[in-house]
A and B are shown apart, each in its own frame.
Chain A
């Protein structure tokens, strides 16, 4: 009859199935369509950049934890893999290896581990790495291989957003600029120039649907962010269609989709409550549109997310969910 000593612990005695490694695995699975598409689009260059970024990120985290912090290994939670993937998603597929190494070191070393590792970083590590690279290596970071070209030293070209910005500066008309672009269907499926993971809105939406289905994320951030982008650009487009591109163009090009699905929804750097998430998403949308339309850069999602990351503690402080019993009963 004896079964040895019994375990005693405070309740609850059961736990939900969803744990950190499973969530991380789910996010990685959700990234697979976008990754597969970019390999299809850019060939081995995409795989090479992604692989390097993941290896560097994981390796750097392992080294920091083991030799600097001297703590038990933390890489098995899978978050470094995601940082690596996201970093790769945000760079062109022909980036040299040393730039990837620097980006990974900044993302993991400064963006994540210097704050105490997973869960303590105020800014999205992959974006910290990306923005650091964008500011330090502007030329390699903004020269994308043409979509559909398989060789590593293919002709480089600009993104649709880049074409638009440069064209507007050169004084070309909106209509003629839009005519130079691929069709919307092509853009939707991803046949456009750009960073690794951001081209195919379709593949990213597949990932979003998967994550929503697995209840890894909620709809609040992606929907509020995309809606804000649509509404804001829509207003400007209605005011002056000759000067501003239409909302569909803005949503489908650049990093909006990638940002809405994977970057802004990062647990650690987004608000806790649904209300907070809505504020966060709207903030990112507004900033993105402002940077795109009036800023110097053709693209503003990364900056918008990083800026809103800084507001997260404040949003957490004030955007609270209603409590039970808080609202006095009317009857």
Chain B
């Protein structure tokens, strides 16, 4: 054993929720094909894609059903083969209704262009531009949760020099294990994915950041990387929200993204491991993003699992495969417990950004009694951005949004650490989010 040395982590704030990685040992298993899928056309940040199919059309797996509109947008592909059903506004995991394409599944008929074999293709034939085009075509978006189109991130604005690629394998959200399993089972593919990204960006150095509660993944990559030049793996202290781009960059490279800036301002591009794997598949196998790994977990779930799921599969199918919905389920969260969104409806489809489905028992699903603010300062201690959440709550509540802006409310990454630690159970993040939306909203005439 190596000497125990202090692991790297980010500088400011953060919290240590119980990590509860119940499904860490569950291998990725493909979920049986659903009967129907509902594929929303807004699964990414940016403009919704434009639907190019009509009711009644037959589609194959991997066929484009909606094309990106503008650069900050993403292609949407059919994740199953079958016939297009209704195209209407449907509730998705965002909690709002968006246009979605329903496909009734018939067989499993793939586009011929997709290489479905398991063989590892290591040689990278494409150049930078072709890689970006290929990723754009495949509709790859950030799979850590934010769902930012991957090709946009790879197109570094002119005048900025990027010298580091960071691969985010932190998975700091409690419960979730999707990235962990991908790292264990698809490590070689991820390595090729990293090389593809390095080629696309023209960078010479890459670091994979992994929290130390996934020590097996750290060791695996250490072994794989022995003979690799320029790629390193770093074990990080378990510390939420280390998976936040800004926190991860600070932890690994000690660089701080300026307020309102992007990682590329400090010469870094960050990609999630899941995205990296999807990029490998898109570039080497010509496979668009039509399925992803989703963790189904929760204290009361019979078999906490990691499923390989077609995009658009209703949540209920995953829950049944994991042993059914326990009687005492009070809340179902799409994503992790710190930043995920509670869903109201079990027919909500899995989207490109859905990393997990978390079941919370009834007694833990409601909020506790709220007390007055004690001025304990724990929210300030916990804020990874060094803001003063208590003050932002007061300002937002009073509607003093201009003052809140001066107090840098827009720097908030909505990690939830403040609400998590507040001993008075004050809904700090609720109000900060409100303040942010009020500031972003165009003024009413």
Give residues in A with beta carbon < 8 Å to B.
1, 3, 6-16, 18-20, 22-23, 77, 116-120, 218, 267-274, 277, 320-329, 331
Expressed in whole angstroms, the Cα–Cα distance for A269 and B373 within the complex equals 11
Q: Are B429 and A11 in contact (CB under 8 A)?
A: yes
Is B259 part of the binding interface, using a Cβ–Cβ cutoff of 8 Å? yes
Q: List the B residue with the shortest CB-CB distance to A323.
A: B386
Q: Are B430 and A10 in contact (CB under 8 A)?
A: yes
CB distance from B157 to the nearest CB of A (A): 18
Q: Could you say which residues of chain A place their CB within 8 Å of the CB of B443? A: none
Q: Could you say which residues of chain A place their CB within 8 Å of the CB of B390? A: 272
Most buried by B among A12, A19, A322, A323: A12
Q: Which of A6, A18, A22, A323 contacts B342 (CB 8 A)?
A: A6
Question: Given the known A-B contacts A13-B331, A272-B377, are A325 and B246 also in contact in the complex, defined by CB atoms under 8 Å?
Answer: yes
Q: Are A11 and B338 in contact (CB under 8 A)?
A: yes
Say which one of B71-79, B269-277, B321-329 lies at the interface with A. B321-329
Which secondary structure characterizes the binding site on chain B? loop
Number of interface residues of B (CB under 8 A): 74
CB distance from B13 to the nearest CB of A (A): 8
Given contacts A19-B424, A117-B372, A218-B381, 10 further A-B contacts (CB under 8 A): A3-B329, A8-B331, A11-B340, A11-B416, A15-B367, A19-B425, A268-B375, A324-B256, A324-B257, A324-B259
Q: Could you say which residues of chain B place their CB within 8 Å of the CB of A23? A: 374, 376, 423
Q: Are B374 and A320 in contact (CB under 8 A)?
A: no
B96-139 with Cβ < 8 A to chain A: none
Q: Are A10 and B420 in contact (CB under 8 A)?
A: no
Q: Are A323 and B420 in contact (CB under 8 A)?
A: no
Question: Given the known A-B contacts A8-B331, A9-B367, A20-B423, are A14 and B174 also in contact in the complex, defined by CB atoms under 8 Å?
Answer: yes
10 nearest CB pairs, A to B: A119-B372, A12-B416, A323-B386, A272-B377, A267-B376, A8-B342, A267-B374, A325-B259, A324-B385, A14-B337
Q: Could you say which residues of chain A place their CB within 8 Å of the CB of B11? A: 324
B388-444 with Cβ < 8 A to chain A: 388, 390, 408, 411, 414, 416-417, 419-421, 423-425, 427, 429-430, 433
Q: Are B374 and A16 in contact (CB under 8 A)?
A: no
Expressed in whole angstroms, the Cα–Cα distance for A327 and B421 within the complex equals 26
B327-345 with Cβ < 8 A to chain A: 327-333, 335, 337-345
Q: Are A22 and B423 in contact (CB under 8 A)?
A: yes
Question: Given the known A-B contacts A8-B342, A15-B425, A19-B368, are A270 and B411 also in contact in the complex, defined by CB atoms under 8 Å?
Answer: no
Q: Are A12 and B256 in contact (CB under 8 A)?
A: no
Question: Given the known A-B contacts A324-B385, A329-B256, are A18 and B365 also in contact in the complex, defined by CB atoms under 8 Å?
Answer: no
Q: Could you say which residues of chain B place their CB within 8 Å of the CB of A327? A: 256
Is B366 part of the binding interface, using a Cβ–Cβ cutoff of 8 Å? yes
Q: Are A11 and B339 in contact (CB under 8 A)?
A: yes
Give residues in B with beta carbon < 8 Å to A.
11-12, 15, 17, 95, 174, 246, 250, 255-259, 261, 266, 324-333, 335, 337-345, 358, 360, 362, 364-368, 371-378, 380-381, 384-388, 390, 408, 411, 414, 416-417, 419-421, 423-425, 427, 429-430, 433
CB distance from A146 to the nearest CB of B (A): 38
CB distance from A234 to the nearest CB of B (A): 30
Q: Could you say which residues of chain A place their CB within 8 Å of the CB of B384? A: 324
Q: Are A324 and B368 in contact (CB under 8 A)?
A: no
Q: Could you say which residues of chain A place their CB within 8 Å of the CB of B17? A: 14, 16
Q: Could you say which residues of chain B place their CB within 8 Å of the CB of A324? A: 11-12, 246, 250, 256-257, 259, 384-386, 411
Q: Could you say which residues of chain B place their CB within 8 Å of the CB of A3? A: 325-330
Most buried by B among A20, A116, A277, A325: A325
Expressed in whole angstroms, the Cα–Cα distance for A326 and B408 within the complex equals 10
Q: Which of A7, A12, A218 contacts B337 (CB 8 A)?
A: A12
Q: Are B386 and A119 in contact (CB under 8 A)?
A: no
Q: Are A273 and B377 in contact (CB under 8 A)?
A: yes
Q: Are B259 and A326 in contact (CB under 8 A)?
A: yes
Q: Could you say which residues of chain A place their CB within 8 Å of the CB of B378? A: 18
Expressed in whole angstroms, the Cα–Cα distance for A11 and B240 within the complex equals 14
Expressed in whole angstroms, the Cα–Cα distance for A277 and B375 within the complex equals 12
Expressed in whole angstroms, the Cα–Cα distance for A23 and B374 within the complex equals 11
Q: Could you say which residues of chain A place their CB within 8 Å of the CB of B344? A: 6, 8
Q: Could you say which residues of chain A place their CB within 8 Å of the CB of B332? A: 6
CB distance from A94 to the nearest CB of B (A): 34
Q: Could you say which residues of chain B place their CB within 8 Å of the CB of A116? A: 372
